[in-house]
Structure 1
């Protein structure tokens, strides 16, 4: 979605289709005019195209990108998983992007915390404030709030109001949501909803289906999304197997399984309170599963005979291992495929879901979440298979990757060298330490000749003339400008040993399973220092890195001793005999339609925009009719169609008025409930016009409105006066401004010695003589304390009681809590 605030353009999400086949040229066309990018969820539909677009458009590095920390970490896992499956990344002959590129792109994203308003001040973003709130759909999933001038936009696509086993509900129902997310000028909401089945029934349906399949000796296949809903499935299945002492194998087949669980274990503070209690009780992360085997080798799954449960990456069965594994298992009638998220109709999972739905409709079965369908048909599919490279293709791969590796090493060496030179110039008088460049040369990570004899490598003395003279004046004699070299002493310990940071770095090792103990290295002996691994991100990620030592030996040319072989992808057409069971159990974690119809009217947006996965004019018309009746005729409801702009701006004419210093000093501020301050002022508005620029023909006239006290200048020009229809008269009775919450008033009265309690319908009874309640001007209906948050703008305090001393004292206390204007 592209949001425009005057001259500021904000791009929210950069999703891709489930097959990663759609061209993303349209993003390259608009990216030059985008000022800010926000990411909401770690899924292909929300950020799948982000890394690829950044790679083909290097200018995007200058655009600020914001997301929560879990979206950043899980987003890179989803991206690596999807790109590897689609052939965009990995040890492939025609790979377009590398692991290092993806890691660097996600490292540039600026992390935000929940409920942390961030005021942007750079360039055209000045005046825009963004805030992230919990969406409840995925780990770190975000509801964005954007504020600029009179605009207050809440962007909430894919959210869940109810709690999951590892996530809290959306912030719409939080205690402070009234002051943050309610009553926006524009609410952008998604059309995708869940089936409405409760969490308890959903879990029971899953356990029952899994148990039935395992008892029959079959395999349960659970396609799931890598960075979001997998954590929910893994957590409840692991706990169920452990509590019921089930010894069946439980697998997770993914390229990034171990790293995903490691990230989840490091971000427990973003999860529900039940996860925190579980962590405190067990004294270990709930996501260090002892009964789940994580693997990226599908042959290991196929070699496992007998009943088993396999969670597999790729919820749409187009990317990840899900499609290929389904082709191996669908011919067995004891295999059960459980679809956990509503898929796209154009995918393999979508086709199977439609078959399941058609069978349920024909059988008049209303409960679709607890009913499996036995399929017996032939299904044509197209999928990718990997074949090892040989001969000329292998030689070309090695040459390309070796050249890429040398280029990166040269770039790293030049960066270290430039950094070293700058540091040496600043500290040339002090005895230095061994530079990073010297360390790289000594350890053999780069060659010395690379710095001097490489192509496109030049040495110039770029220092200014003044700096040269300054350097020369501090030495005993003036020397000619030479190759910048400074003799530095190496860092050594008290025992004369050279200190190298690499010897003390922790090496990342991958165990056979997530919970299996780390195997000792037979080549290391007691007391010997660990050596830093050649790969940057560990063995699991190194399998995806085409420049890793797993695919290239030290010299970069001989692959006979390499641990892994590079491959190429071949498109294969096949017709499958599908005899398995298919079932749908909704684990997508979205709000159902009934709940949305209850929550959105409480939010009270002035304008409501629905954003769907595809253009559905009929659906948008139905939603417009439904929510117009719920929100009232004053609210506007739209349906967003592709490439058709919607004008949802607030129809107000506002100007910025600057208070003069003299008027600001004379103001008398009054504090009112809600941590607000208010002051009454009267002044004369003065327009100051100034010209910017040096060229008279191109001068732009800018006007500033300044409010000054009336006593500043008694001589008023007739041109400065504005004729009004009625003269200004001061009101005889002051206007009371503010909003009193009955709970706050009750605490204040109790502190002053009054006996107070809440009565029926939310009224406050004081000393059994005075009644305080709040009602509205629209219909006069009394509101409880809970309702005042929704209708605060039109509510008033009503004090009722007989003539007594307590009545007038309580009345004065209420008036003191309001500001007089």
Structure 2
């Protein structure tokens, strides 16, 4: 059986934009990834809105914003409600990515594209799968089966194998790595052999990657040279993906006493650094065989990182003395703590900035990668600062007014409540500052509407102890976190307010602040180094994997012209005839067979078929004429008109077709079909008229 297969490239085709595709198999539509770029481009979101209600399932391949960044927006703001499938690490680490991304933007701007509630709602919809666990689709997707296969790029990263009805398999591999790393196994090439259609991320088809040993040596040399020269090293990495490989590698180096690194500090800086490391400790079974055997044998967790200190604000890094190495998010340097440290350290020549990924064009990291250092650039610096003076007083007055309005509404609601007892109207009022309803002695006249609001009874005001059990006076300010505001006055972490006795109208849920923006000239004098640690196949390996997979047809995704040229040349040598190179917005018809069509049968036709068992299936024979909708509609009208003429002739009533109407009884009665499909009977009231009407009623059901 052959399926109709189409791929709509919403994003991630012909350039390096994030992957987002709609794969249609017959009537079932998969959304393959839902990535978003660093600038939150809304162009493809507008296109996604048009197809959102037709999507039947979402398949997520990796946990970073490049592959699922737009998912909270699609679920929380656009109303995406179909099932979502991903592996357990993609579910866990994806949340950490989106939490860190949201908080990083909220730290410096009034970010409102999505909220933390949208993130939670989106990830609560995810069905968590294990590797090689097959899931059968239901409803319109009956006969389809999805299977996640290890990709080797990020923890829990997935290559999706979609089994279509018949013998057609579709493999979606946007990013993968066949080489083993310290904390991950490589992808399983044998699981993606001989697909009918391979959707391949071909961005690296022409990329020449240095060997891992040379890259590790370059990183070690940069770190040692910088630290011994009295500078610090900023390693720009992600939140919960490639940072695990870096953290594990550097912690092992710090454990080696001969390296001379024990005297320096190793820090991990992000809004969720603690959670990321804790989740990594609980997901060892998803990592490399070497780490799994070490954990099962010695029961030592490889992510119990003894030399890695976890930080959640720039102030903590600033307070750490001496030269240091900081792993900070995000690699694009557009936002997050990595950008904050870059602004602080870029002007000092003894420092080093290590870029670990080629981010999207137009980002600060890409600009540094292409143009290098020893220059002055103009950057927009955004930050959140506390309100002071008149602005603070105005904000406080607004809060008091809001509190008074709330109290007034509650008071009005309490006064307007009433209860009836023994046929008399009674009014309940609130007196004093208590919440206990008190019956008024003097009953007020008039009629009061009853609202069903229930007020709290028996108020309990907790008396806080001024001293502990040993008599020492408790001072709440001694227990406040010191990193509320960093050295530049920027708010990073907002701890819970110390317990104080304040009036209800003065209660605030957050520290009053505002966002400001300024343009700053940044002199780049630090050492800029690009050390590729993306964990993707290079060009040579990608083409070799393609030769082993031997797909019948290939779709090249996220590839520019040079990469596409190298890929086409290789496919010609390997005998792969069908190679599609779409651009953004293109729709590819990748159906294997030609001249096949989809025909929808009505329920009445299906009920009239005679089914016969054939093994596990049932077959029926149907002989019909297939015509376009308009032609078929005209054919139905003509057939029904002939039937009506035959029916009238049987009852002795002559009829002829004239000017779009069926005339009978010497032209005194006419049967006309209206544009809305209804039938109208026109003519002179007579015995023939009623006889024709009775015949019509016998043929049509009156609703």
Do the structures match in fold with TM over 0.5? yes
- d(CA) in 2 for partners of 1:639 and 1:149? 26
- Cα 1:708–1:594 change in 2 (3 A) is closer
Partner Cα distance (1:94, 1:314) in 2: 17
Q: Provide the rounded CA distance (Å) in 2 between the counterparts of 1:457 and 1:145.
A: 58
In the alignment, which residue of structure 1 is the partner of 2:380?
Answer: 382
Tell me which residue corresponds to 1:186: 197
1:62-211 aligned at under 5 Å gives the runs: 62-87=81-106, 95=112, 97-121=114-138, 123-150=139-166, 151-172=168-189, 177=190, 180-193=191-204, 195-211=208-224
Matched, 1:225 2:238: yes
Retained in 2: the 8 A contact 1:691–1:702? no
Corresponding residue for 2:302?
286
Q: 1:310 to 1:523 in 2, by over 3 A?
A: farther
* Aligned residue number for residue 554 of structure 2: 608
Change over 3 Å in CA distance of 1:397–1:549 after alignment to 2: farther
3-state SS in 2 of match to 1:146: strand
User: Could you list the runs of 5+ residues in structure 2 that have no partner in the other structure?
Assistant: 1-20, 407-434, 438-448, 455-466, 471-483, 485-490, 616-620, 625-703
Q: Give the conservation status (yes or no) of the 8 Å contact 1:214–1:308.
A: yes
Cα distance between partner residues in 1 of 2:113 and 2:404: 15
TM-superposed CA distance for 1:297, in Å, is 1.4
Which of residues 29, 36, 43 in structure 1 aligns to 2:50?
29
Check if 1:54 corresponds to 2:75.
Answer: yes
Report the alpha carbon displacement of residue 205 of structure 1 after superposing the two structures with TM: 1.8
Q: For the structure 1 residues 397 and 304, does the alpha-carbon distance in structure 2 shift closer, same or farther, using more than 3 Å as the test?
A: farther
Partner of 1:326: 342
Kindly indicate whether the alpha-carbon contact (under 8 Å) linking 1:145 and 1:181 is maintained by their aligned counterparts in 2.
yes
Q: Deviations over 1:460-495 (max 9, x none)?
A: xxxxxxxxxxxxxxxxxxxxxxx9xxxxxxxxxxxx
Cα offset for 1:160? 0.3
Alignment match, 1:300: 316
Offset from partner CA, 1:560-596 (integer Å, 9 cap, x none): 787x625333222111011110111111000010011
Partner of 2:644: none
Q: Is the 8 A contact 1:220 1:337 kept in 2?
A: yes
Structure 1, residues 381-432: CA drift from partner, whole Å, max 9, x if none? Answer: 113211124344467689999999xxxxxxxxxxxxxxxxxxxxxxxxxxxx
In structure 1, how many angstroms separate the alpha carbons of the residues matched to 2:301 and 2:469? 30
Match of 2:658 in 1: none
Mapped partners of 1:704, 1:553: distance in 2: 80
CA contact (8 A) 2:229 2:350 kept: yes
Q: In structure 1, how many angstroms separate the alpha carbons of the residues matched to 2:253 and 2:362?
A: 34
Higher relative contact order (CA 8 A, sep 6+): 2
Decide whether aligned partners of structure 1 residues 27 and 636 sit closer, same or farther in structure 2, where only a CA change above 3 A counts: same
Distance 1:291 1:118, change over 3 A: same
Q: Which residue of 1 aligns with 2:517?
A: 571
* Partner SS for 2:589: coil
5 Å-filtered alignment, 1:217-616, equals 217-244=230-257, 246-280=262-296, 283-356=299-372, 375-389=373-387, 390-393=392-395, 549=496, 565-612=511-558, 616=560
Q: Aligned partners of 1:556 and 1:288: how far apart in 2?
A: 46
Measured in 1, the distance between the counterparts of 2:499 and 2:400 equals 7
Query: Which segment drifts farther, 269-278 or 3-12?
Result: 269-278
What is the aligned residue count?
Answer: 516
Report which of the two structures shows the higher radius of gyration computed on alpha carbons.
Answer: 2
State the secondary structure of the residue aligned to 2:544: helix
Distance across 1 between alignment mates of 2:612 and 2:55: 33
Query: Which residue pairs with 2:603 in the alignment?
Result: 692
Deviation at 1:253, TM superposition (A): 1.2
For the structure 1 residues 556 and 233, does the alpha-carbon distance in structure 2 shift closer, same or farther, using more than 3 Å as the test? Answer: farther
Q: In the alignment, what sits opposite 1:642? A: 584
Q: Does the 8 Å CA contact 1:251/1:293 hold for their aligned counterparts?
A: yes
* Structure 1 residues 643 and 565: CA distance shift in structure 2, 3 A: same
Following superposition, the deviation at residue 345 of structure 1 comes to 2.3
Q: Secondary structure at the match of 1:646?
A: strand
Q: 1:247 to 1:708 in 2, by over 3 A?
A: closer
Where does structure 1 lack aligned partners over 5 or more consecutive residues? 357-374, 405-446, 450-454, 460-482, 484-521, 526-538, 657-688, 694-698, 710-716, 721-821
Specify the SS of the correspondent of 1:274. Answer: helix
- CA distance change for structure 1 residues 183 and 551 in 2, over 3 Å: closer, same or farther? farther
CA contact (8 A) 1:129 1:148 kept: yes
Q: Given the superposition, is the C-alpha separation of residues 94 and 707 from structure 1 closer, same or farther in structure 2, using an over 3 Å criterion?
A: closer
Contact 1:219 1:336 in 2 (8 A): yes
Superposed CA offset, 1:476-515 (max 9, x none): xxxxxxx9xxxxxxxxxxxxxxxxxxxxxxxxxxxxxxxx
Q: Spell out the pairing of 1:763-774 with structure 2 (5 A cutoff).
A: none
- Paired residues of 2:239 and 2:329 also in contact (CA < 8 A): yes
RMSD across aligned C-alpha pairs, in angstroms?
Answer: 3.8
Residues 656-735 of structure 1 aligned to structure 2 (within 5 Å): 692-693=603-604, 706=612
Contact 2:266–2:325 (CA under 8 A) maintained in structure 1: yes
Give 1:19 shift.
2.7
CA contact (8 A) 2:77 2:114 kept: no
Using the TM superposition, give the Cα deviation of residue 91 of structure 1 relative to its aligned residue in structure 2, in angstroms: 10
Q: Which residue of 2 aligns with 1:474?
A: none
Distance 1:273 1:231 in 2: 16
Alignment CA distance shift 1:355-1:705 (3 Å)? farther
